[in-house]
């Protein structure tokens, strides 16, 4: 199993625990069709897409909380999660999740990012980046930019209870 899948699954499970604590009767994992629409969890207040902590470059040894990759188009050229069907995006950080409205995030990205196309992830801050041989289109923003839009902090669960 690739580490990013393992990291993503762990972040989704951790966030699911927090959702169950807030709304145990009306929280459920996304169904297969919903997952293709970039949804991981559903509750009565909306649909959530969970983003695990990421590295800047594939070769980096650890994840970080300074920058965030935003996916405009996925690897097949379809709509990326920034333009998916989730109501909220939950970004994992070391000790918490930051939950923002997906549409607010999309507006923020369109205001901050330019249309310069770059070929290196190191140059992707506020620019458009596509990995060689793929149809994806990404940009990178500072996490502090995300904290400039309406958001909530959800502390990670200290309980080992499984939902």
Measured in degrees and rounded to the nearest 5, phi and psi for residue 11 equal -65, -45
Confidence grade of residue 5 (pLDDT, cut at 50, 70, 90): low
Instruction: Read off the pTM.
Output: 0.89
What pLDDT was estimated at residue 62?
81
Q: What's the whole-number mean pLDDT along residues 81-96?
A: 96
Q: What's the whole-number mean pLDDT along residues 81-95?
A: 97
Structural domain spans, the chain = 3-155
Between CA 114 and CA 133 the distance in angstroms is: 23
State the CB neighbour count (10 A cutoff) for residue 97.
22
What pLDDT was estimated at residue 55?
81
Does the pLDDT value for residue 159 go beyond 70?
Answer: no
State the CB neighbour count (10 A cutoff) for residue 157.
15
28-63 pLDDT, tens digit each:
999 999 999 999 999 999 999 999 998 887 777 788
């Amino acid at each position: 199993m690739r580490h990013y899948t393992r990291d993503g699954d762990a972040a989704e499970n951790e966030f699911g625990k927090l959702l169950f604590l807030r709304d145990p009767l009306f929280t459920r994992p996304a169904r297969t069709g919903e997952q293709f629409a970039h949804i991981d969890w559903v509750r009565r207040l909306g649909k959530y897409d969970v983003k695990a902590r990421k590295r800047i470059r594939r070769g980096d040894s650890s994840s970080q909380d300074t920058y965030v990759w935003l996916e405009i188009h996925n690897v097949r050229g379809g709509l990326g999660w920034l333009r998916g069907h989730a109501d909220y995006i939950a970004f994992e950080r070391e000790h918490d999740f930051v939950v923002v409205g997906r549409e607010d995030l999309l507006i923020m990205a369109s205001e901050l990012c330019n249309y310069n196309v770059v070929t290196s992830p190191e140059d992707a801050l506020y620019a458009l980046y596509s990995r060689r041989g793929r149809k994806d289109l990404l940009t990178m923003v500072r996490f502090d930019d995300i904290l400039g839009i309406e958001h909530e902090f959800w502390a990670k669960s200290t309980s080992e209870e499984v939902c």
